[in-house]
Structure 1
Amino acid sequence: MRIPRIYTEQPLQVDSDIELDDNASRHVGKVLRMQAGRELVLFNGQGGEYTATISDVGKKKVRVSIASFDDVERESPLPIHLGIGISRGERMDWVLQKVTELGAARITPLFTERTEVKLTGPRLEKKQQHWQQILISACEQCQRNTLPQLQTAQRFEDWLPSVTEASRFVLHHRTDTSLAKSDKPTSVALLIGPEGGLSAAEIQRAQQQEFLPLALGPRVFRTETAPIAAISVLQYLWGDLS
């Protein structure tokens, strides 16, 4: 029987009893319908994971007993920072889920010239919380114990000068530069536009900030396909995909 993995923000310690937070309790008790005596794996993003057993399932809270700790980590040796133009509908959700599974270390949603999604104030805050929950669920599924860092959505022009990764690439299908021509980096920033791509001015501005134009073959990818393809190649060449 599969043992569910549950994320909680709480401090975790061996030989302690805790009540899971509201989201985790609801998922364990209402969605999974687990009962006392069932085993869980808990993680809080601080490193490693904990085995625990459900001691009580109440109407609103689930209580667990933590038994042991495993310091296993499944993070890529290549830190990847994805700057991605915000896309419409479920495309953005899908991208966040998949790049988490592929090991992205940091993700920054970007408002670009061709971004059609308008988010400000409470709507932006609610969307950030929604995106964060997608990262949590993806980590629970793919067995990562460290959550990717989700930056607050920001304007493209504000994000560019803040990038500090050693190697920087902007996906651009009108170039013949490929990753095969690049030396192994210690960290990577990857810039990808929304539907319609980045404008010529944005690509030029990125290149002025030492972003190298990068092509992944002769075909033009959709905005939700491009980061999956690019990060897969990065992880295969220099990360932990084999």
Structure 2
Amino acid sequence: MQRYFLETPQQDGDQVTLPATVQHHWVVVLRAQVGDVAEFVDQTAHLFHGELLRVTNDGHAEVRLTAVVTPTVELPAHVIIACGLPKQEKAEWIAQKATEMGVQQVIFYGADWSIAKWHSQKVAKKVARLTKVANGAAEQSHRLVRPTVTYVPNLAAVLATPNDLTLMAYEESAKRGEHSALTANLQRVVAGQTVLAIFGPEGGISPAEVTQAQTAHAILVGLGPRILRTETAPLYFLAAASTIWELQSPQRG
């Protein structure tokens, strides 16, 4: 069943006029007819079934909402991934796939060794595009929340992000055979905490950035014995977090 997000809180039995973008996709692109039902998630992450009641002469679609049991689909802890600015279309790939895997926030930052550069005049447009990609991925993967996507100029701004645990994926840790820090730290995370995971760009993380992160109490972790591409590393991390927090947890079905 198709899923859409609404921008305001709703209640059982509410009749709402759909936002233009939702109306266009459901009614025009997917050709929904009166009586058809789609899923809608309100601003408070509650799930509803919405029956299409009518499409007015001026093109507005109206639905009646029926509250249904909201499933547990979000990661128990909030994950923020901070990615050194990658080249070409990799930022869209990361935003889309990380959303499907449960991320709460994606931060792109200008790393010391980033090859790609975002000019200040283009940042807002690029972030808007990435936000649209993440929103679409949240609908497709039946998330209850839409991740936020932001850009900051450097690692210092990333490290200022409030969190309960900061991890930095560092390839030298993997080369040295470190294989337990990631698992050990993820296992001590409790529901509701926020984990910030930092990844470098194609050029890697500079020694100065490693020192800067460690000074801010970030923990260096390896991501297995292989060296991962910049767009693969965040997904490996999210898969590992999901395995430890969800698939191995007896409290979560």
With normalisation by structure 2, the TM-score equals 0.85
Q: Contact (CA 8 Å) 1:160, 1:206: kept in 2 or not? A: no
CA contact (8 A) 1:167 1:189 kept: yes
User: In structure 2, do the counterparts of structure 1 residues 60 and 132 end up closer, same or farther at CA, with 3 Å as the change threshold?
Assistant: farther
1:241 maps to what in 2? 247
Give how far 1:161 is off.
3.8
1:102-125 Cα deviation digits (max 9, x unpaired): 11122212121233131423x221
Taking the aligned partners of 1:16 and 1:185, their CA distance within structure 2 comes to 38
Given that residues 73 and 144 in structure 1 are in contact (C-alpha distance below 8 angstroms), is that contact kept between their aligned partners in structure 2? no
What's 1:156 paired with? 154
Q: Within 2, Cα distance between the matches of 1:119 and 1:31?
A: 35
Provide the secondary structure at the position in 1 that maps to 2:211: helix
What are the Cα deviations for residues 202-221 of structure 1, in whole angstroms up to 9, with x where unaligned?
12211111111111122211
Unaligned runs of 5+ in 1: none
- Write the distance in 2 (CA, Å) between the matches of 1:219 and 1:188: 23
1:34, CA displacement in angstroms?
A: 1.3
From 7, 10, 13, the equivalent of 2:11 is 13
1: CA distance, partners of 2:131 / 2:220: 29
Q: Return the letter of the residue paired with 2:228.
A: F
Change (3 A) 1:69 1:180: closer
CA distance in structure 1 between the aligned counterparts of 2:88 and 2:55, rounded to whole angstroms: 36
Name the CA distance, whole Å, in 2 between partners of 1:32 and 1:51: 17
Question: 1:196-207 maps to which residues of 2 (within 5 A)?
Answer: 196-207=203-214
Separation in structure 1 between the aligned mates of residue 37 and residue 158 of structure 2, nearest angstrom: 45
Contact 1:19 1:61 in 2 (8 A): yes
SS in 2 for 1:194: coil
Partners in 1 of 2:183 and 2:72 — Cα distance? 28
1:165 counterpart residue number: 163
Give the CA RMSD over aligned residues. 2.0
User: What percentage of residue pairs aligned between the two structures are identical?
Assistant: 23
1:221 is the counterpart of 2:228? yes
Superposition pairs of residues 185-200 of structure 1, within 5 angstroms: 185-186=189-190, 187-200=194-207
State the distance in 2 between where 1:181 and 1:70 align: 34
What does 1:1-242 align with in structure 2 at a 5 Å threshold? Answer: 3-57=1-55, 60-115=59-114, 116-121=116-121, 123-150=122-149, 152-175=150-173, 176-178=177-179, 179-182=182-185, 184-186=188-190, 187-237=194-244, 239-242=245-248
The answer as to whether partners of 2:113 and 2:205 remain within 8 angstroms in 1 is yes
Q: Distance in 2 between matches of 1:72 and 1:36?
A: 26
Displacement after TM superposition at 1:64 (Å): 1.2
Deviation sequence 1:175-208 (CA, Å, 0-9, x none): 1433234451234210001222222211221111
The amino acid of 1:177's aligned partner reads: E
Instruction: Work out whether residues 152 and 158 of structure 2, in 8 Å CA contact, stay in contact via their aligned partners in 1.
Output: no
8 Å CA contact 1:48, 1:73 repeated in 2: no
Q: Which runs of 5+ in 2 are unaligned?
A: 249-253
2:54 and 2:206 map into 1 onto residues whose CA distance is 56
Q: Which whole-Å CA distance do the structure 2 matches of 1:103 and 1:112 have between them?
A: 24
Q: Number of residue pairs matched?
A: 237
Deviation at 1:30, TM superposition (A): 2.3
> Taking structure 1 as the reference length, what is the TM-score of the superposition?
0.88
Deviation at 1:55, TM superposition (A): 1.5
1:13 deviation in Å? 2.5
Q: Could you tell me which amino acid in structure 1 is paired with residue 172 of structure 2?
A: R
| TM superposition shift of 1:56 | 2.1
Separation (CA, whole Å) in 2 of partners of 1:42 and 1:174:
45
- Deviation readout 1:208-239 (Å, 9 max, x if unpaired): 111111111222111111100111112212x2
